């Protein structure tokens, strides 16, 4: 019907022609799509220079048109409706938000979920003891009965996405001030959420896109009975640990498996032994055919947050002021915790999860700073801003003429309070655990002061519950040197105008000794003892505790000085950013603008591609098991390899999962991902699972502020490695039998 066209380097005119052509193809093939959603019969021109159509995290319900065309140009055979359809089953029905932070996907008709090892880590850790160490040795349920329940875990499906922008903006006028606008917007959101049509077991929530220029409503279903099915040992699931984290070439089998359970009607239910495996509307078939350079890939998941449209002045502040401060705090905390974990196996289990999450962003910020500098991102943003200003002046767009100078002024005003706030967050909230405990106690006191006895009892119960979990993984021996080091750093480096009085002119070693020998908050028994009695008694005991007294002053300064100033300026900044976002789209109508990530379901697409990290070096797309053995250091903390895996390697016992006699492990692509995309499926041109996203490359972690198709790559485990480990390493054939394995290339 239509002949194949080969396009080499396209200029923009050719692009437009190409779009028209593709649009024509889509229209003329409508009958084909109506009978089968698959766009198999379309012959889509392949473009050679695909850089301009990659990057971006797109809204699944709005793919028709440009995105659908771009995907086809990259090699996809799917239509927008194959990916998201409200009335028929589509890919989206297999994509599940995993416990609020990660992504997972359904890979069997019995609700089997695949996600990353690092996403299931907390759950695997919670079932582990020194005797049954599933982190160390792995865990495999050989039947439904052996699957392990996880009381506080839940997963969420997206049932429907509606645009509610008009309702949310109803009544808003330009003359209103920002606070009044926000108030009315929030009231409208509440109204919209209340009147939405949904089933009783469903939820609805509204989220802002394009910095508040668009609002979408999500109807969701949350399942609360999610059980652990399988996890490889950390020497596979976390191979290379923190040394290899955020790095390519990579050899980590970062996966674990869970299962969703539902009530007898397949609806969400609290955990019950009578619940049954969930029957999904769609589950992903798994391709055994692997990937080759330039193959189309789509990553479907819940990216957390990006800041792609910040002005140069903001990026400059992050890279040169805020990131360095946070990196230094964590650098110090991590060194201390690491030294204790290496000495003591019990402490290693206790701190495994906390350490990994602190180390993760520490390393990411270092990579981000390097990437922003190396790619000249700040300069490039300045050039874009110069171009923007020129067009605004030429077209006399008065409403936009002060945006950049407003940013300059506000970012300079907010700098010291942002920095002080980051010190408080990193020291008093995140990294010194005793201070975090004093923060919980502080909240209890505030609840009492503001809400009286009723509020006190409620918050007290929640606080004790939290403490019960917290102290299981707490060691005052580890925390004490962290306190001394970090509190000292805070006092030395945080802006003086926000420094609590009790941090000025003190001897930190004496202070630390005093706090850790006298405070009752260093143990669960002590903490419970403080919280026993009438509200008045509890307040009296708390306010006599050395640890609490110290922490309370930090938290008081945070709430009375930092937060008010920060929120006041931040509200103004958000208003300018909202206008700037709209202005960018008006001033550059031909540029592609995706809405920044906000933990909602998104599609990103690209191709399997290698990259050049530095002059003279080229990284291939794929790693193999050979590389695992190259990195192998017997008995090492991060690079040990289990005997069984070495045996399988030596015997080349790869079953049906090998590629030309070799076992693929990981591969990279140009998909634009961020934190939250962990566990997201990598999907081929036909909708089959080919990999499992788990990371980005070091040189490209700046993609949160500056996606660059030449150097930003996401890292995926090859799905054949996952199957090989499940089948050959763990012998969990029961799981392989549940799945649907396919050969789309044959």
Residues binding ligand ARG (CB under 6 A): 118, 241-242, 245-246, 356, 359-360, 675, 678, 694-695
Q: Which does 245 bind (CB under 5 to 8 A by kind): ligand GLU, ligand ARG, none?
A: ligand ARG
How far is the first Cα of the chain from the last one, in angstroms, to the nearest whole number? Answer: 24
How far apart (Å, rounded) are the C-alpha atoms in residues 309 and 594? 10
Residues 496-555, interacting with ligand GLU (CB under 6 A): none
Least Cβ distance, residue 95 to ligand GLU (angstroms): 14
Nearer to ligand GLU (CB atom), residue 85 or residue 695 = 695
CA distances in angstroms from 453 to 312, 447, 530, 588, 648, listed in the order given? 50, 9, 17, 57, 63
Contact 136, 635 (CB under 8 A): no
Residues 379-408, interacting with ligand GLU (CB under 6 A): none
Q: Give the angle 330-374-363 at the CA atoms, nearest 5°.
A: 20
Q: Is 520 strand, coil or helix?
A: helix
With CB under 6 A as the contact rule, the residue among 676, 681, 687, 691 that binds ligand GLU is: 676
* DSSP strand pairing (202-209 vs 214-223): antiparallel
Q: Where do we find the tokens 């070495």?
A: 646
Q: Which does 677 bind (CB under 5 to 8 A by kind): ligand ARG, ligand GLU, none?
A: ligand GLU
Marked catalytic residue, from 61, 76, 235, 678 = 678
With CB under 6 A as the contact rule, the residue among 252, 463, 673, 688 that binds ligand GLU is: 673
Least Cβ distance, residue 232 to ligand ARG (angstroms): 14
Least Cβ distance, residue 54 to ligand GLU (angstroms): 15
Least Cβ distance, residue 674 to ligand GLU (angstroms): 5
DSSP state of 213: T
* DSSP strand pairing (664-669 vs 714-718): antiparallel
Q: Which does 676 bind (CB under 5 to 8 A by kind): ligand GLU, ligand ARG, none?
A: ligand GLU
Query: Binding marks (x or -) toward ligand GLU, 696..725, rule CB under 6 A?
Result: x-----------------------------
Q: Give the angle 731-734-739 at the CA atoms, nearest 5°.
A: 115
How far apart (Å, rounded) are the C-alpha atoms in residues 152 and 70? 40
Q: Extract the tokens encoding 118.
A: 């690092």
Dihedral pair phi/psi, residue 695, rounded to 5°? -165, 180
Least Cβ distance, residue 96 to ligand ARG (angstroms): 18
Nearer to ligand GLU (CB atom), residue 546 or residue 638 = 638
Query: Binding marks (x or -) toward ligand GLU, 96..135, rule CB under 6 A?
Result: ------x---------------------------------
Marked catalytic residue, from 254, 422, 695, 708 = 254
Q: Determine whether 596 is an active site residue.
A: no
Q: Determine whether 640 is an active site residue.
A: no
Least Cβ distance, residue 302 to ligand GLU (angstroms): 9
Nearer to ligand ARG (CB atom), residue 241 or residue 432 = 241
* DSSP strand pairing (286-287 vs 741-742): parallel
Contact 333, 481 (CB under 8 A): no
How far apart (Å, rounded) are the C-alpha atoms in residues 423 and 429? 9
CA distances in angstroms from 245 to 159, 252, 303, listed in the order given? 34, 9, 18
With CB under 6 A as the contact rule, the residue among 519, 678, 688, 706 that binds ligand GLU is: 678
Q: Is 682 strand, coil or helix?
A: strand
Query: Binding marks (x or -) toward ligand GLU, 265..304, rule CB under 6 A?
Result: ----------------------------------------
Handedness of CA 316, 320, 325, 327 (dihedral sign): positive
Q: Determine whether 353 is an active site residue.
A: no
Residues labelled as active-site residues: 118, 254, 678
Residues that bind ligand GLU (CB under 6 A): 102, 673-678, 694-696
């Amino acid at each position: 019907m239509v002949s194949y066209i080969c396009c080499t380097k396209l200029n923009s005119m050719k692009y437009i022609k190409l779009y028209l052509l593709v649009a024509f193809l889509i229209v003329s093939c409508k009958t084909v799509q109506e009978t089968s959603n698959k766009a198999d019969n379309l012959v889509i021109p392949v473009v050679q220079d695909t850089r301009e159509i990659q990057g971006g995290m797109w809204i699944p319900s709005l793919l028709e048109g440009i995105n659908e065309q771009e995907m086809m140009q990259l090699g996809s055979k799917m239509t927008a409706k194959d990916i998201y359809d409200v009335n028929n089953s589509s890919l989206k029905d297999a994509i599940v938000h995993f416990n609020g932070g990660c992504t997972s996907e359904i890979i069997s008709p019995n609700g089997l979920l695949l996600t990353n090892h690092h996403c299931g880590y907390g759950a695997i850790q919670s079932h582990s003891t020194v005797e049954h160490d599933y982190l160390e040795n792995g865990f495999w349920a050989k039947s439904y009965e052996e699957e392990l329940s996880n009381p506080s875990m839940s997963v969420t499906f997206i049932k429907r996405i509606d645009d509610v922008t008009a309702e949310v903006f109803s009544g808003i006028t330009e003359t209103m001030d920002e606070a009044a606008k926000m108030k009315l917007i929030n009231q409208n959101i509440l109204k919209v959420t209340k009147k939405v049509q949904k089933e009783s077991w469903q939820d609805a929530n509204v989220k802002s896109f394009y910095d508040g220029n668009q609002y979408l409503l999500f109807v969701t279903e949350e399942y609360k009975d999610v059980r652990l099915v399988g996890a490889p040992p950390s020497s596979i699931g976390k191979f290379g640990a923190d040394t290899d984290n955020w790095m390519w070439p990579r050899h980590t089998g970062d996966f674990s498996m869970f299962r969703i359970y539902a009530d007898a009607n397949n609806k969400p239910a609290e955990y019950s032994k009578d619940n049954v495996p969930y029957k999904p509307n769609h589950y992903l078939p798994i391709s055994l055919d692997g990937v080759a350079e330039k193959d189309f890939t789509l990553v479907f998941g819940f990216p957390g947050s990006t800041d792609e449209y910040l002005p140069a002045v903001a990026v400059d502040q992050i890279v040169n002021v805020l990131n360095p401060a946070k990196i230094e705090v964590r650098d110090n905390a991590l060194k201390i915790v690491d030294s204790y974990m290496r000495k003591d196996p019990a402490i290693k289990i206790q701190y495994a999860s906390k350490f990994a999450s602190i180390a993760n962003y520490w390393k990411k910020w270092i990579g981000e700073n390097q990437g922003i500098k190396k790619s000249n991102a700040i300069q490039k943003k300045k050039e874009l801003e110069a171009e923007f200003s020129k067009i605004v002046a030429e077209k006399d767009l008065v409403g936009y003429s002060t945006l950049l100078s407003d940013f300059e002024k506000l970012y300079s005003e907010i700098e010291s309070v942002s920095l002080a706030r980051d010190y408080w967050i990193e020291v008093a909230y995140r990294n010194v655990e005793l201070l975090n405990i004093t923060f919980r106690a502080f909240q209890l006191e505030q609840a009492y002061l503001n809400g009286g006895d009723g509020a006190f009892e409620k918050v007290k119960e929640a606080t004790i519950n939290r403490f019960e979990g917290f102290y299981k993984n707490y060691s005052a021996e580890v925390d004490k040197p962290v306190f001394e080091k970090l509190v000292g750093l805070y006092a030395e480096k945080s802006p003086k105008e926000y420094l609590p009085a009790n941090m000025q002119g003190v001897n930190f070693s004496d202070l630390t000794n005093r706090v850790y020998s006298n405070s009752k908050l260093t143990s669960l028994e002590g903490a419970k003892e403080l919280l026993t009695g009438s509200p008045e008694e509890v307040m009296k005991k708390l306010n006599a505790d050395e640890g609490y007294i110290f922490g309370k002053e930090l938290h008081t300064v945070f709430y009375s000085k930092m937060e008010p100033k920060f929120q006041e300026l931040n509200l103004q900044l958000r208003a300018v950013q909202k206008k700037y976002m709209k202005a960018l789209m008006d001033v550059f109508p031909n540029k592609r603008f995706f809405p920044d990530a906000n933990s909602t379901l998104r599609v990103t697409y690209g191709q399997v591609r290698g990259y050049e990290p530095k002059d003279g070096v080229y990284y291939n797309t794929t790693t193999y098991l050979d590389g695992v053995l190259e990195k192998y250091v017997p008995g090492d903390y991060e690079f040990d390899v289990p005997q069984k895996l070495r045996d399988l390697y030596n015997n080349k016992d790869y079953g049906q999962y090998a590629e030309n006699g070799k076992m693929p492990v990981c591969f990279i692509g140009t998909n634009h991902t961020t934190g939250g995309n962990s566990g997201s499926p990598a999907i081929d041109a036909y909708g089959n699972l080919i990999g499992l996203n788990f990371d980005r490359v070091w040189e490209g972690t700046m993609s949160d502020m500056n996606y660059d198709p030449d150097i930003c790559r996401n890292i995926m485990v090859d799905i054949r490695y996952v199957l090989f480990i499940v089948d050959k390493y763990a012998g969990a054939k029961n799981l392989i039998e549940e799945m649907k394995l396919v050969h789309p290339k044959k």
